[in-house]
Structure 1
Amino acid sequence: MSESTHQSKRNVLVIGAGGVGTMACVALERSGMASVTAALRSNYEKVLRDGFEIESVDHGKLSGWRPSHVVNKVPHVSAESPFDYVVVTLKTIPEINNIVEIIAPSITPNRTTIVLLQNGIYIEPPIIDAFQTNVVLSGPSYIGAHQHNGHVIHDDPDRYHLGVFHNPKLDPEDERRNLEDFASIYNGAGIAHATIVADIVHYRWRKALWNGIFNTMCAVTQLDNAAIRRFGGEHSLIRPGMAEMAKIAQADGYNLGDKVIDEMVDATPIELSFRPSMLVDVDKGNPLEVEVVLGNALRIARQKGVQTPILDNTYRFLKLVQARLLAARGYISEPKELPTADFI
């Protein structure tokens, strides 16, 4: 069990202060129960000098706001002041970053609880393998928040399902205590809503029905969520793709229910046009979370013998989009000429 439950304030590190990470900093710091350190990258100088400018549906307008501490890299933990919680909101893009290596300097064995507020399915096992004495909490986010150079627009309420991803080497009661403690901090200001759930994988599969289909197909077509439906994609791509994802979840032991596709589609009214986060990344020329959002699910489909022709082709096209984005940023080199066999 973490010693954090015996302290008046928990020592929390948030790694990745984009829109999601910044609003996590706000929720945790404003609870009065945490001292938050934000590890920033491109926006460090701006935030250090001026603070964040935040327009939030939950918190209102915050001008010049900062958490307790702002740093420009993941700090090496000190014996005198270990982190009780390390919250990870970085995008998981294995082509350009290694989450385990990034967070390792900040983790104290047997002490630090790792909280993954990230997209994707089965992002937790590599973390548990690397940090076998640390509790791992997981929370798919439903927040709508975008950050650019210290300016955050938060236009969809801060909501999470939060649960333990069980480590068989740890005591479930200790895991549960840390889960309840972190949720109480996150919800401490009475504004954000981190809802504790018994089986977080179930809720990650539910989000995969939306994220792995709307997000990916909008990124490939460069149509927003409403346009792709108006132009005929709802019944030729969106719903059939969701049906394939539901079959993968079923094969993995998670029955999402007969109405889950209607629920996921209806959760995004066609009158509400917006560009999903993966499409926004395409707009900005940023690499995509291809593997954790879709690739991991398809690897499970292959293991379980589930046929997924629509998602397979979506993945193939998405990988081509990813290659273009990686090449433009200099992460990979474009071949001068592809062999003919690559086009077959």
Structure 2
Amino acid sequence: MELKARVLVVGGGAIGGLFAWRLSLSKEATVSIVCRSNYAQVKSSGYDINSAQFGHAVYRPLRVYQSVEDAVAKEGTFDYVIVALKALPNIYDSSERVSAAVGDDTMVVLFQNGIGIEEPFVKRFPHAAVVSTVSFVSVKQEESAVLRHGGFSMLASGLHSCERSTQNRNLAKLHILSDLFASQGVSSIVEADIQPYRWQKHILNGSTNPVSVISGGASCQEMVRNEYCRALLEDVMAEIFMLGKKVTGKSFPGVDGIIDPKSATEYIETIPVPVYTSMLVDSQCKRPMEREVILKNPIALADKHGVDVPRMKALYALVTMVEAGYK
């Protein structure tokens, strides 16, 4: 690897824009970004970022591209490819979309929601290091290239797969990336087993996302203030706790003090500004929702492990009908 880490962020939405910005502030990295719907705005004016944690900034990426192929034509392959695309396996294969930028020594770092997101990358890049990263952050793209970020950002990363002979080298490489984020104010840790963290985040993702769509557009706080909706959320969360512990064989790490369904809904109550889920925003914009990785993949694991998840199955059926009804 060169003296400066060469990073390509694929997906210029809220997550990609925020973390590309933090990484770009390090003198030890050069960061390029691939944008789609907001390409023209980012290219001309950059991102306007309002962050309760970091303050206000205008972030103008060093290089902005419309496609991975354009980035590779200009710069070749990269040391790190951060995948911040929506996880929509029923629409497209994220691993295929980034494949041009992945060389022999590229580390593929997945900043995607959901369960089971890693396998397409392992299959496509059997010799590459695939890292699963879980982001605990509240950030929203309010309009094109305008980001609003809350007061907290945390990343938990772990090597999901790599060739045994390269494990020590790739672990060191992952620590370099983690330290770069930490140097710019992002809480960033490397874990030997990242899946409990992924299930920890899924407690909120797998419950509030689909319920917000079905509820007709409620914020997370509005949902927990309704006694019936709160009870539903806690029942879904209980299924996720049970399933995640069965799949991983471990307890969850308790990020944000969330150790059971009750503490999860109590945490939501403490958030000072209304939170609207990404799945809700997608449904309101008539865009495909991440229903496969948020619901279908966990349901398949439940069937495999003999865990009963009737509420998750009901939510999957309902959001599928909502998406099928787009006009």
Same fold (TM over 0.5): yes
The alignment's TM-score, normalised by the length of structure 1, stands at 0.86
SS in 2 for 1:159: strand
**AA paired with 1:172?**
Q
Report the more deviating stretch, 85-94 or 260-269. Answer: 260-269
Provide the residue aligned with 1:69 in structure 2: 63
- How far has the Cα of 1:150 moved from its partner? 1.7
Give 1:289-328 correspondences, 5 Å limit.
289-325=290-326, 328=327
Report the more deviating stretch, 137-146 or 273-282. Answer: 273-282
- How far has the Cα of 1:254 moved from its partner? 3.0
Counterpart-to-counterpart distance in 2, 1:78 and 1:265: 48
Provide the residue aligned with 1:127 in structure 2: 121
CA distance change for structure 1 residues 166 and 296 in 2, over 3 Å: closer, same or farther?
A: same
Counterpart-to-counterpart distance in 2, 1:250 and 1:146: 30
Instruction: Indicate conservation of the 8 Å contact 1:55/1:152, yes or no.
Output: yes
Whether 1:245 aligns to 2:240 is yes
Provide the residue aligned with 1:276 in structure 2: 277
CA distance change for structure 1 residues 227 and 235 in 2, over 3 Å: closer, same or farther?
A: closer
Provide the residue aligned with 2:262 in structure 1: 262
- Structure 1 gaps, min length 5: 329-344
- How far has the Cα of 1:57 moved from its partner? 2.2
Summarize deviations over 1:2-60 as a string: whole Å, max 9, x none. Answer: xx2xx321110000011110011111100121111110111111221122212122332
Provide the residue aligned with 1:146 in structure 2: 140
Report the more deviating stretch, 131-140 or 162-171. Answer: 162-171
Counterpart-to-counterpart distance in 2, 1:271 and 1:78: 44
Summarize deviations over 1:113-134 as a string: whole Å, max 9, x none. Answer: 0010110112112101110111
Give 1:49-64 correspondences, 5 Å limit.
49-63=44-58
Instruction: Indicate conservation of the 8 Å contact 2:139/2:149, yes or no.
Output: yes
Counterpart-to-counterpart distance in 2, 1:177 and 1:43: 34
State which structure, 1 or 2, has the greater radius of gyration over its C-alpha atoms. Answer: 1
Give RMSD over aligned pairs. 2.1
Number of residue pairs matched?
Answer: 318
Report the more deviating stretch, 271-280 or 172-181. Answer: 271-280
**AA paired with 1:216?**
P
SS in 1 for 2:97: helix
Instruction: Indicate conservation of the 8 Å contact 1:74/1:105, yes or no.
Output: yes
Instruction: Indicate conservation of the 8 Å contact 1:13/1:39, yes or no.
Output: yes
- Structure 2 gaps, min length 5: 253-257
**AA paired with 2:9?**
V
Provide the residue aligned with 1:196 in structure 2: 190
CA distance change for structure 1 residues 172 and 261 in 2, over 3 Å: closer, same or farther?
A: farther
- How far has the Cα of 1:224 moved from its partner? 1.8
CA distance change for structure 1 residues 285 and 185 in 2, over 3 Å: closer, same or farther?
A: same
Counterpart-to-counterpart distance in 2, 1:260 and 1:85: 35
CA distance change for structure 1 residues 316 and 71 in 2, over 3 Å: closer, same or farther?
A: same
**AA paired with 1:20?**
I
- How far has the Cα of 1:270 moved from its partner? 6.0
Provide the residue aligned with 2:37 in structure 1: 42
Instruction: Indicate conservation of the 8 Å contact 1:33/1:188, yes or no.
Output: no
Report the more deviating stretch, 230-239 or 242-251. Answer: 230-239
- Equivalent pairs: percent with the same residue? 27
Counterpart-to-counterpart distance in 2, 1:79 and 1:280: 34
Instruction: Indicate conservation of the 8 Å contact 2:224/2:268, yes or no.
Output: no
Instruction: Indicate conservation of the 8 Å contact 1:9/1:34, yes or no.
Output: yes
**AA paired with 1:193?**
S
Give 1:39-118 correspondences, 5 Å limit.
39-63=34-58, 65-75=59-69, 77=72, 81-109=76-104, 111-118=105-112
Summarize deviations over 1:253-294 as a string: whole Å, max 9, x none. Answer: 333369432332222116744212221222222221001111
Provide the residue aligned with 2:9 in structure 1: 14
**AA paired with 1:202?**
P
- How far has the Cα of 1:201 moved from its partner? 0.5
Counterpart-to-counterpart distance in 2, 1:8 and 1:59: 27
Counterpart-to-counterpart distance in 1, 2:319 and 2:162: 32
Counterpart-to-counterpart distance in 1, 2:241 and 2:209: 16
Counterpart-to-counterpart distance in 1, 2:230 and 2:22: 39
Instruction: Indicate conservation of the 8 Å contact 1:40/1:72, yes or no.
Output: yes
